[in-house]
Chain A
């Protein structure tokens, strides 16, 4: 009966599981139990092989800047936006903090941290390795 209940109860939405990880200071991602692909953003099926057997993992939070831009606006300092390749094999958008937006370079090693966003939501950001 317990098993049946589990099957019947709706699974927690991928976006909410991701957010719960961040609230606990962790960077969550998924790995496909069938084809081993690292999957991000979180989903309900593997975009590589189509399997529904996605398992949540915690990233070590270490990665490399894949691409970078500094977004300029009239009334603020430029803000940095990057794509980071995590060592586990997935890519995500983020920003690198602690360095002027224009000085973030492709290839820089970075480390994950959590910040509070504008609506108090947890946001995954990066700082330079060693900083």
Chain B
């Protein structure tokens, strides 16, 4: 069974981003994004019969979103595995479309964590094997992984900083980016330490924001407003939830999710024009570049040196500015899909990657816990 090319993303939109101000709820932003995505696609709300969402606010995410939007779905999927959930929803939507369980799927998410007072963490009970030691969730867990990568492969803080600098340079080309000013490796190294070796500028933003994505069959997609962006392949994997259970802190389950996505898509890393790699922290893209085959294990730090993933570099990574400089509303996976779609439609203005036909969107959830990879393509690579 293969879903290759059978489903297409036909509408995308962000809600208002950054800091939306007091009183707005995540559902208000979901409403904004949904209206804009429907307009982008040329679809009506009544066309939507599949609903996909995850939330740190609403324990029944699709039920709450369905009520607010006035959508009564016949297929509903509130899978929550952290920030990667929405890439997973895209795969699940393709399967549901293929099985005839729905015809038009809406994937949506939003958070108002910045206006609402900061990172909205977990509602899980304390873990007797981790909580007593006081790691700061989630940054300390990523810091542990970074410490191991540095020990095994000689990765440096300056190399981590290169990831943040590249993200900022892309953000400077994106009018919607939250942070748009100059940033140097020295700035990152000199910034306040949070959980060593990660300083505050190694960490993603805490912003409001959300988005919506409309997915339908390739056949139906042909008659809509924008050029369809096809799902070529996807894979999802998770091996652990808690960092103390991660088998090897230098290898993520992206090694599986990526392999499965490439196999389904019939492409490899050498075919990818734009790589959207979930950058919750600067160590993340380094591990994902390795696990997704853009370089060998251990070479991620060297790979990002010298502006290689920055504008005009060899590989276009996180062209919206990423979670580090564009926006990171708690869970970011939907926003990286939106950027991948826009690159393949050629809608990215100053930051457009010329002639992009294949984009990879990789979502991460938890503490390197869940990994979901999607490969998207324009019509001429079908």
Contact = CB atoms under 8 A, between A and B. Distances in A.
Contact of B244 (A92, A106, A107, A123): A92
A11 to B, nearest CB: 18
B41 interface: no
Contacts, number: 76
B129 A41 contact: yes
A92 B129 contact: yes
B135 A71 contact: yes
A20 interface: no
B94 interface: no
Contacts of B249: 66-67, 83
Nearest to A102: B196
Interface residues of A, number: 29
A123 B129 CA distance: 9
Interface stretch (B76-84, B138-146, B370-378): B138-146
A18 B127 CA distance: 13
B135 to A, nearest CB: 5
A117 interface: yes
A71 B140 contact: yes
A44 B202 CA distance: 39
A8 interface: no
B147 interface: yes
A107 B152 CA distance: 10
B302 interface: no
Nearest to A18: B128
Given A67-B145, A93-B244, A81 B135 contact: yes
A81 B144 contact: yes
A40 B326 CA distance: 39
A85 B145 CA distance: 14
Contacts of B192: 72
Nearest to B193: A72
A95 B243 contact: no
Given A70-B195, A70-B196, A95 B144 contact: no
Contact of B134 (A40, A68, A79): A79
A77 interface: no
A93 B129 contact: yes
A121 interface: yes
A94 interface: yes
B132 A117 contact: yes
**Ordered nearest first, which 9 A-B pairs have the shortest CB separation?**
A69-B143, A106-B151, A67-B144, A93-B244, A67-B148, A70-B196, A41-B129, A81-B135, A123-B132
17 contacts: A18-B128, A40-B129, A41-B245, A66-B249, A67-B249, A68-B144, A69-B135, A69-B195, A70-B196, A71-B134, A71-B135, A81-B135, A93-B135, A93-B243, A106-B148, A107-B151, A118-B132
Given A66-B249, A72-B194, A81-B133, 8 more contacts: A15-B128, A18-B128, A41-B128, A71-B135, A78-B196, A81-B195, A102-B196, A106-B147
